[in-house]
Every structure is written in structure tokens, then in C-alpha cells.
């Protein structure tokens, strides 16, 4: 893969995030986007082998827009400094748990680095409530699925300080009930990104999170059935 093209472009846009520079270098953006889309296509094909729920997806179903919506944001930079793709059943706009691949040079201001993630980020209130109800009833299996995802860390940076209303504060799973984004993440460096084994390594890592995503998607299904 030519991921160096993607990284080089993102380093450049980080330092030149304006429309004038972008118009002059649009061909570099097009080339970097094509490289990233090809990799996402290969990721989908590889993930499908262990998680058939992603069958039928195309890169455009999973990739996020590069252009920022700045209408209500104090940050008026017109472009993102990263590329990201969320691979899950029905694509990035669905409520389902899935696999996220993120490329971002350090110092770019969003996540400040490259990332693999699995799970739910910013789920709708009904989905999050369903996840918490399932944790309350089956916290041991949630914990086991998270621990089985070796190499990943449970995302708790935005966790609530107290157990949410309606759930028992003395639950043995109280720390999990506080989660706002029930997900796992794994940071990686440029060497990982530029390795010839990037696809193989990424698929192997994501495969370890299959049971975690399956666990969450049962809770998603409960929410959607209500």
C-alpha cells in the first residue's frame, strides 16, 4: 500500500489548512483519497471473512467526509487533518457497533495520532440505555469480551463520574455503566502505518474485537426492536 502518500498529504494539510493551498494541491488530495479508499476496500473484504455482517459495503459507505462543516464551529479550518473509515453493518451512519480505522499525524489536533477502534462512539440515547441494561444483567460477559480484545484499551476518557440514574450505584459493573462510548482503542505509530504488513496486522487486531462488537450489537438490536 502507498500509505506514505496519505501520510504526506495529511502532514501538508495540517500545516496548510486553507482553501487556497488545497486548490493548488487538489490532485494530491485525490491521489491520497484513492489510496485510502483502496485500503478500506481491502479492509472490508478482510473483515467480512470473520464478520459477515459487513458484506456488501463499499468504501464510500464507510469513509467520512474530508470537508468540515464550519457553520457553527469556532474552528474555521475548512478541512479535516485526518482520514477515517467506520466499517460496520449498514455503513458509517448506522447505529451498529463496528471497526474504525483512523490516520492522523501527531500534532493535528483531533485524536493526535493514528488509531484502531472497535465499538460504539456517541451512540443514540436509546442504544446507550440498552447497552447499560445489558451490562447490568450480563456485566461479566461484557468484561470478558473486552479483555479478550488483547492489545486494545477500554475508552473511558468521557465516562460519567457517577452511575447514571436508574442503574444501581452498588453494581459490580458500575465502572462499565458509567461509559458514554462503549468502545476499545489501540493507538499505532507511523512505522505500523507504513509497514508492508499493515493490512494483515490491522485485520488480525480487529479480529480480536469480534466478540466485543457482537456483544454490543445484541444490545443495539434490543434497542432497535423497541
d(CA 122, CA 100): 13
179 neighbors 164 (Cβ within 8 angstroms): no
pLDDT > 70: percent of the chain: 100
| Residue 180 reports pLDDT greater than 80 | yes
Stated pTM of the model: 0.96
What proportions of the chain, in percent to the nearest 5, are helix, strand and coil? 50, 10, 40
Q: β-pairing, 183-188 with 98-103? A: unpaired
Q: Mention every residue, 6+ apart, whose C-beta is less than 8 A from residue 222.
A: 130, 133, 134
217 neighbors 96 (Cβ within 8 angstroms): yes
Cβ-based neighbour number of residue 64 at 10 Å: 14
pLDDT > 90: percent of the chain: 92
| Residue 46 reports pLDDT greater than 90 | yes
Q: Which residues of 173-209 are buried (b: 16+ CB within 10 A; e: fewer)?
A: bbebbbbbbbbbbbebeeebbebeebbeebbebbbbb
Taking the domains of the chain in order of start, what are their residue ranges?
3-225
| Residue 48 reports pLDDT greater than 70 | yes
H-only helix segments in the chain? 3-15, 19-24, 26-48, 59-62, 125-148, 174-177, 190-194, 198-207, 210-225
d(CA 185, CA 178): 17
Q: Mention every residue, 6+ apart, whose C-beta is less than 8 A from residue 133.
A: 219, 222
Instruction: Tell me what pLDDT residue 1 has.
Output: 59
For residue 32, CA distances in Å to 129, 132, 141, 187 come to 39, 40, 41, 21
pLDDT band at 69 (very low <50, low <70, confident <90, very high): confident
H-run or E-run covering 85: strand 83-87
Instruction: Tell me what pLDDT residue 184 has.
Output: 98
d(CA 169, CA 178): 10
Amino acid at each position: 500500500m502507498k500509505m506514505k502518500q496519505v501520510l504526506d498529504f495529511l502532514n501538508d494539510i495540517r500545516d496548510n489548512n486553507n482553501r487556497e493551498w488545497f486548490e493548488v494541491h487538489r490532485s494530491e488530495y485525490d491521489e491520497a483519497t484513492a489510496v485510502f479508499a483502496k485500503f478500506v476496500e481491502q479492509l472490508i473484504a478482510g473483515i467480512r471473512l470473520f464478520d459477515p455482517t459487513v458484506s456488501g459495503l463499499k468504501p464510500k459507505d464507510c469513509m467520512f467526509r474530508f470537508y468540515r462543516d464550519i457553520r457553527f464551529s469556532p474552528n474555521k479550518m475548512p478541512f479535516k487533518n485526518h482520514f477515517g473509515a467506520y466499517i460496520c453493518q449498514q455503513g458509517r451512519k448506522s447505529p451498529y457497533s463496528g471497526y474504525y480505522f483512523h490516520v492522523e499525524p501527531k500534532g493535528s489536533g483531533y485524536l493526535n495520532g493514528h488509531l484502531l477502534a472497535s465499538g460504539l462512539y456517541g451512540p443514540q440515547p436509546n442504544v446507550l440505555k440498552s447497552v447499560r441494561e445489558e451490562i447490568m444483567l450480563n456485566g461479566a460477559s461484557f468484561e470478558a469480551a473486552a479483555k479478550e480484545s488483547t492489545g486494545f484499551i477500554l475508552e473511558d476518557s468521557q465516562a460519567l463520574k457517577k452511575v447514571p440514574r436508574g442503574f444501581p450505584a452498588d453494581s459490580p459493573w458500575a465502572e462499565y455503566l458509567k461509559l458514554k462510548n462503549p468502545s476499545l482503542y489501540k493507538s499505532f505509530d507511523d512505522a505500523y502505518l507504513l509497514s508492508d504488513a499493515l493490512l494483515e496486522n490491522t485485520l488480525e487486531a480487529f479480529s480480536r474485537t469480534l466478540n466485543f462488537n457482537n456483544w454490543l450489537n445484541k444490545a443495539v438490536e434490543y434497542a432497535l426492536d423497541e
